[in-house]
Structure 1
């Protein structure tokens, strides 16, 4: 596609030169041809020269022999005009055709925004063979590729969304720079009352706002296919980073900077470390150097208590100019170095000028886009000669993937439910050899993932029945617990949900559990359940506050309850 655009640009430039040459030759030829007639002024020559471009010039009506410059110009000038007309018609017809195709598209993806994130998502969708409609206001350079259609305008406007075929779309990604704009776009999509279920995902760069919006989303009772959700690029990015390069040794990890990538990275490090099997009995040593490291780490640990349980964190308050002195006093070299500064200039400066970082350990530098450093430094292996390795980790390219974004808040909560289950198994001393379900969430079968998702999707209904709501986790101590009566009521609701889920998939009651025959002895009313089975449901309920806190939420009772 780039080659086609390059050829077209070359042709346009060529005809531009031809137009200039035609003007020069035409004027020179006219001056020679009309030199003997004093009636014609300089302006007349210019006028007649311009007439050549409209396939005719008054002095040439008489015919006869013409000077060679004029002979050439009377053919090349109309050729330029014809090309301009053809190109104009092509653009007009092409634009109208693309608008029609965009409006009439169905089950396609819509990307709102032509910035780096919008382009990354569009590129990934095209690589997957999806049809894409891009909505933008003319800012940025939208991806030009087969199967990508463009609509100009503000995606918050219902008319613009209809022009992009939103009522027949399968998914909408709101990828503008302003989070409030993205939320408004997603809300507008659902206000269109589309004919078929559509998912809308809004990018929210502030993790606290994103968490608050997710909490409200979990309280909604709506079809899963017809969902509105929110994603944070930094949170997705750290999952990609640690999935590809996990930390498995109980050796120090160094973080330079925190917000917002560093915060998300520390939480994900702790989450993964505590799920190791078998447990090592030690916490992961983490050293954090940032301007307000002590306060930020303390706040993070109050919001996510498992971070302090899984990691032995040493926070050190230091501005950029003070980092070098602290690094010089390092007693044990780190196994990983993560440069998490939001200011990419500082990140690059720290990485390339602070010799204490060059210990041979991998150095991961967070940037927004790979082009920030990649264009300037090639493959970015700048520290190899210093016995170290440098990895430029571009958040937009690494996390701007539809398959990651599509893992909505229900999926996140389903993951937290499974993680809590694995953690409890570890505390009981179980091993993966004894329990096949003690694996990473990604390795679960779709059947088991579906059970976790269904449990997560019904959470809002359970809390609503208890006159409770979800809120984002805060630094306040975690004190919520259900009363014994609430535990009993919710356990009955959980058992009913579980029965409906399995029954809807062909399971029946049997004397023993048999996955091949889809039989389970507990597929019966609560009154006929064994005490062991009832306790299992009660445990699932009493663990809810901890599961939600692991996912960044807390339960709040409404006034008057």
Structure 2
């Protein structure tokens, strides 16, 4: 006899802790969810299903076939409302599955756990989190350990790592590194065309870091062509407890000692609730400002990712735009494999749209721009120079996607052999081929507008270190409020970003005041020396907590090579300098506002 559930919850069926994580993730975001076992699933009346999630079950094709067979329409019992059957599986491609009857009750969707986790993690903590491509910095991703989801992150990073700043780098250190390298390059033989990829044993990490950017190399007068410090690290050990915690802490120390940088470190803690340290537990005062605990399974089990397609909004818009372009040419998009509605689109085509969509945020970073609610933007047009810069990057991104799918260059295209004549540098393309990339990037504002988003260029306000005699407190904060109010009024088409080392209490007071008061203000943390050194110079618990709290709010943590590099960044990258006190430091940008609480008050050297 069929089981009646009353109000239809989201049903979850699957073995082990994954199904429990799914239920927890759904309930955490306010969804009604119920876990059922396989026996109960067999007795379930398909008409009682609103959404059914199969959490990586064994023998998924047979299970799905049985569910679809019971869900076939039978006369008047057919329900018109479409119900969802979501199969969670390890990674793409999905297992071979029966094709659902288009007139059936259920719509079958597949959800690749590790692939979607890699996308979610690198969207939340992007590759440019620890770098500034406009300052000439190149991305260098370090992966330590190769447990899940390391390979998925490596592959997705290769799709996103093009920032137009030279050849990017990825270093992988793990146990059995030779076997891991061989297996990876066997699966992705064209990956070295995308970036410099190096594999090495975990105990050789120090040597690899020395080779990447040793202190001797950085101090020498020789050209630093190969000096690429790590800009983001991901740690994926099989066991996140015990020794792994100390290993990740040692990694942070090695990066500081050898390369003089403290890039963000994403530490995959798996399902462990207790990892034996405050690295993964505790409050902000226990944080070191660098190691960020993550759980890829918890990330993908959130309702917003699993059910609502968070991260797919722009991808779906790209696909809708493609369908519209086919229709505008007088063709029926439903008759073409790549033109099917999103719900019916093959996984390979969905993935291509997702890869293009995920790179939008890298393009905005390269353009010094940000996506904001559409009502905040009157208009936005890329300059010809920006179009050309982004077209080069878009071609590199497209080529990376093709290479990772096994394509290589040949003068004549051959789909069976995966040969393509456009897998050449952008400069060597014909003008019509370049125009395709230009067209793609010119459509960026329209693409985001379909999501209710507009684009604002950044207005970067640099905060050099305050003068020694500059008083802090309410007077300084009020002057800062007045200055920034005028800047916002003077530049209504720009998004305000403060750039500071946060090492001085007066700067932190000012930054916190602005972040709390103004919505949409960003923060670039400028790290001219390792975080450990900065924290060691803040022995007062209040100062340390204050610094760490603001660090957690920073959208970028830009590693710089000492005070000289810091001064160069402030002079080259800040649009305006906010000077605290009566002393104007050397090397600040031409436009500046001086905040002098003990003297002149506000002193502008340009028309505002």
Shorter-normalised TM range: 0.3 to 0.5
TM-score by length of 1: 0.46
TM-score by length of 2: 0.43
Query: Whose radius of gyration is greater, 1 or 2?
Result: 1
Identify which of structures 1 and 2 has the higher relative contact order when contacts are C-alpha pairs closer than 8 Å and 6+ apart.
Answer: 2
Larger strand proportion, structure 1 or 2? 2
